[in-house]
Amino acid sequence: MEKLNICIDIDGTITEPFFWIEEINRYFNKSVNSHKISADPVHESCEISREEFMIYYEKHGEELHEKANMREHADTYLKKISEEHNIFFITARPPRMENVTVKWFGRYDIPNTQIFFLGSHDKLEKARELDCDIFIEDRYENAIQLSEAGIHVLLIDCEYNRDLLNDYIKRVYSWNEVYEEIRNYEKVVIE
């Protein structure tokens, strides 16, 4: 079987989506919980200005990403997927987050074949460049953009992405389900 090109987001997709809330609450003296997170960018849900958030992120971004928790079983299924297909990580993290990201991948023994640090949520051009068959994502706006370009998207369920989906987006609730959907896609490609 020909290998698929699978692109994978990092934050909220392989990491727990709300790993950062405790730190943000502490730093800004807020009481935000996951039920309040409905907007992207994050600063809007936290009721802080973009400038305040960017100052915080410049100072503490590495520390924040280093503390991120893995989504349940993501590491196990990423290893399986990487043995069967080409995987590429595409993140909105800026390039300066490369060292902390690679270190975090090593801590969880995640295959870090290639990681692309875009510094932007616009992932379509990179997905096209990589001839992406399936994109695994948590951000609703990204899922819509990618799917409208004909890329199949597996949208990891989060409280902030529960809007209407189109025919190219499949909502998934676990990494086991991600793996099963990739297997289902393989069957369609073979037929």
Same domain, 49 and 78: no
Measured distance CA(140)–CA(135) in Å, rounded: 12
Does 93 have pLDDT greater than 80?
Answer: yes
What pLDDT sits at residue 40? Answer: 59
Q: What is the CATH number of the domain that holds 130?
A: 3.40.50.1000
- 55-88 residue pLDDT tens: 988 999 999 999 999 999 999 999 999 999 999 9
Same domain, 43 and 129: no
What pLDDT sits at residue 41? Answer: 62
Tokens matching residue 134: 């399936």
The parent domain of residue 37 ranges over: 21-66
Average pLDDT, the chain: 89
Measured distance CA(59)–CA(154) in Å, rounded: 33
- 120-176 residue pLDDT tens: 889 999 999 999 999 999 999 999 999 999 999 999 998 888 888 999 999 999 999
Same domain, 59 and 86: no
Same domain, 51 and 100: no
Same domain, 47 and 81: no
Same domain, 181 and 88: yes
Tokens matching residue 187: 């069957």
> Is residue 158 within 8 Å of 71, Cβ to Cβ?
no
What pLDDT sits at residue 71? Answer: 95
Same domain, 144 and 52: no
pTM (2 decimals)?
0.90
Same domain, 166 and 125: yes
Does 116 have pLDDT greater than 60?
Answer: yes
Same domain, 86 and 32: no
CA quadruple 121, 174, 113, 148: dihedral, nearest 10: -40
Over the range 27-46, which residues count as b (16 or more CB within 10 Å of their CB) and which as e? ebeeebeeeebeebebbebb
Same domain, 79 and 58: no
Domains identified in the chain, total number: 2
Tokens matching residue 1: 């079987």
Same domain, 167 and 180: yes
Structure-token match 């902390």, residue found: 100
Which of 32, 51, 66 is the last residue in one of the domains?
A: 66
What pLDDT sits at residue 34? Answer: 66
What pLDDT sits at residue 143? Answer: 96
Measured distance CA(113)–CA(125) in Å, rounded: 19
What pLDDT sits at residue 47? Answer: 77
Same domain, 58 and 96: no
